[in-house]
Amino acid sequence: MSDTSRTRLKDLPLSILLGIGFCSLLGFLLGLRILNWNPDLTTNLQSTFFLLLSTSYLYAILGLIVGILFWVLFFILSRILGKDFAGRKFVKPWIVLYCVLSGLIFIYLALTRQDLRSGNFDNFILIGYYLSIIAFGWLLIRSLQPKTHLTGNRRRNVTLPKFFGITALYFVVIFSYTLFTASVSDSDVDYGDPEEIKASMKNVNDDMRIAIVGWDGAEWSIVQDLLAKGDLPNLRSLIEEGVSAPFKSLPSTKSPLVWTSIATGKLPSKHGIEDFGSFQFPGMVNNFAEYPDGLGLYRLISRFMSQADLPVTSTTRRCKAIWNILSEANLSVGLIGYWASWPAEAVNGFVVSDRFTYTLFNPRSSIKSLKQGQTYPSELLNELSAFCRLPDSITDEERSRFMPATGGKQAYPDDWDEDQYEDWNPLYQFELAYTAAESYRGAGLYLYQKYRPAFFTVYFQAVDMISHFFWQYHRPDEFVSVPENDVARFGNVLPETYRYMDEILGEFLNVLEPGTDVLILSDHGFGFDLNPRVSFRTGEHRLHGIFVASGPHFQNGLELDEINVLDITPTLLHLYGLPVAEDMDGQVLTDVIDADFLDIYPPQQIKTYETGRRVSSITRSDADAQVREQIRALGYVN
Ligand SMILES: [Zn+2]
């Protein structure tokens, strides 16, 4: 065999062309799968079109690399094996290799699929997609074969024009099929009659007062240690007079998912907030949160289409939250800092969104503040501006209760890696966490006393952030080696944050309307972790957070084995004299509620509170990139 028939440089363009072609087909199929998982996208043809265009484009970029790699591989193989991999003879082994590799990817996808939307036919679709790739490869090989067979086998030739004709037909068929199946699964959602829903609210309990204090990431074992030392007096009295339990989170303990499940009684597949962000490719009208993992899509987006990657917002939520339902029942509500509450929704009361302070984005960069959607009503923002504190406003005195104040620039921990992104250092994260808590504390106390809403919730991220960055200094024994100097300087930050939270809790308890039922909730717990994504040691989420409920309508001095995050909204609705919706995944916590109350008011049911599609259009903001950066700092995304 002569050298000329081996893979040469002039085969490289062909290899790249094949790579781009086959990978954009894979991207197209991935886009169809995203349509299947996010059926509401199919209601807008523009979104559908730009989704498919974008996934095809992103994978075409991947195809460029695949084309080059395959060429290199065949260049080497043709020399080692002395095989004729050139020109047309290059296509067949190329396609066979591609089919084998993509087969492995599909098997991987089938084994690791994060299919939150159920449906066993899902893997059949994967098989169908894979078969279509093989069919394409086979057709292309046939269409490129020499046209004359002396052996006279009367197999029909596939010409290139035929190949392209079949391709076009294929795209039309598979596209229509996907639109059809997605729209069928989308119409599964039953909507209720607004009149019926209104009528079901006639027994609403106007006198009920409920307040939720959210301690993101609070961990029972830390709380118990502190209680044993006589700390946390306010939480202690609530535990003693109320019901307490480990609070069971969701399989994914990411904060926006769990807090939204707490506020809706629904699983993420229903409420639509399934991550810290969602995606909206250029040209799309609405966004999507669910996409198949394991195909490198996220990496491609962050590299080649970063503006498509958006932090979670209140418009990502697809169903009503408890504050929407209570507002419809004419009960007053007040929200402070709740996850995924920006832009602030119109409610019967007030909303201070989660972008009021700087835990979600970094004020060191150019964005000093966001004007739009920070509060509802928007005029509140001016009234509250005095409460919003920048991280560098922290004083030595404020700092000194958490760590020794040095009266100047604080030295970073000894185990701090200089190569890390500067703003990820624990000291800066502490400043962010503390000043945000101060901001929500000030705004919360002020607004509660001014409006005294029937439903009030105030959220603090401090425990979560501090646990991510300071866990190893508080429990150094769980790690291989933590510098002693760091343990001495920063060992108190974590427990002091709990004490600080308890103090704030006490301030709210002092101003709450007499007879208010109070809940202290954390969306997950914490444990140690050696996080591979961030090079420093850190705390990591655990499945169980804390649940404490105390007040006239709860049992007294009761400890339960477990409470589920999904049961909060149904339970609160019942206390407010409202029915629980059948489409909620949680139930009324009959063990927790006072027995006399349950005797008089047995739980009521309604089909659903949903009256129509909640458009999941995203609201972009100039701070999006910074929000992403902060979420990255906590180690949640790559
Ligand atoms: Zn959390």
pLDDT per position as a tens digit, 528-541: 765 544 445 567 78
For residue 101, report the distance from its CA to the centre of ligand 1, in Å.
38
For residue 469, report the distance from its CA to the centre of ligand 1, in Å.
14
For residue 217, report the distance from its CA to the centre of ligand 1, in Å.
5
For residue 226, report the distance from its CA to the centre of ligand 1, in Å.
20
For residue 543, report the distance from its CA to the centre of ligand 1, in Å.
10
pTM of the model: 0.81
Residue 439, phi then psi, degrees to nearest 5: -65, -45
At residue 117 the predicted structure's pLDDT band, cuts being 50, 70 and 90, is: very low
For residue 542, report the distance from its CA to the centre of ligand 1, in Å.
10
DSSP letter string over 17-79?
A: HHHHHHHHHHHHHHHHHHHHH-GGGGG-HHHHHHHHHHHHHHHHHHHHHHHHHHHHHHHHHHH
For residue 538, report the distance from its CA to the centre of ligand 1, in Å.
14
pLDDT tens for each residue of 133-166: 888 888 888 887 766 555 555 555 667 788 888 8
No. of H helices and E strands in the chain? Answer: 21, 16
The runs of H, that is alpha helices, within 200-290 are 220-228, 233-241, 255-264, 268-271
For residue 254, report the distance from its CA to the centre of ligand 1, in Å.
6
Cis peptide before 377 (omega within 30 of 0): yes
Q: Specify whether the CB–CB gap between 221 and 74 falls below 8 A.
A: no
pLDDT tens for each residue of 210-239: 999 999 999 999 999 999 999 999 999 999
The pLDDT value recorded for residue 636 is: 63
The pLDDT value recorded for residue 56 is: 93
For residue 354, report the distance from its CA to the centre of ligand 1, in Å.
13
For residue 298, report the distance from its CA to the centre of ligand 1, in Å.
22
Residue 34 CA to residue 28 CA, distance in Å, equals 10
For residue 405, report the distance from its CA to the centre of ligand 1, in Å.
28
For residue 270, report the distance from its CA to the centre of ligand 1, in Å.
20
Residue 151, phi then psi, degrees to nearest 5: -70, -15
For residue 360, report the distance from its CA to the centre of ligand 1, in Å.
13
Residue 489 CA to residue 475 CA, distance in Å, equals 13
Q: Residues whose CB is under 5 A from ligand 1 (ion)? A: 216-217, 255, 464, 523
For residue 300, report the distance from its CA to the centre of ligand 1, in Å.
27
The pLDDT value recorded for residue 619 is: 65
For residue 111, report the distance from its CA to the centre of ligand 1, in Å.
28
For residue 632, report the distance from its CA to the centre of ligand 1, in Å.
14
For residue 195, report the distance from its CA to the centre of ligand 1, in Å.
37
For residue 218, report the distance from its CA to the centre of ligand 1, in Å.
8
Q: Average pLDDT, whole number, for the chain?
A: 85
For residue 275, report the distance from its CA to the centre of ligand 1, in Å.
12
**What is the average pLDDT across 376-387?**
91
Which of 29-33, 69-73, 254-258, 489-493 has the lowest average pLDDT? Answer: 29-33
- Mapped onto helix, strand or coil, the DSSP state of residue 479 is coil
For the beta carbon of residue 469, count every other beta carbon within 10 angstroms: 30
For residue 291, report the distance from its CA to the centre of ligand 1, in Å.
22
For residue 313, report the distance from its CA to the centre of ligand 1, in Å.
16
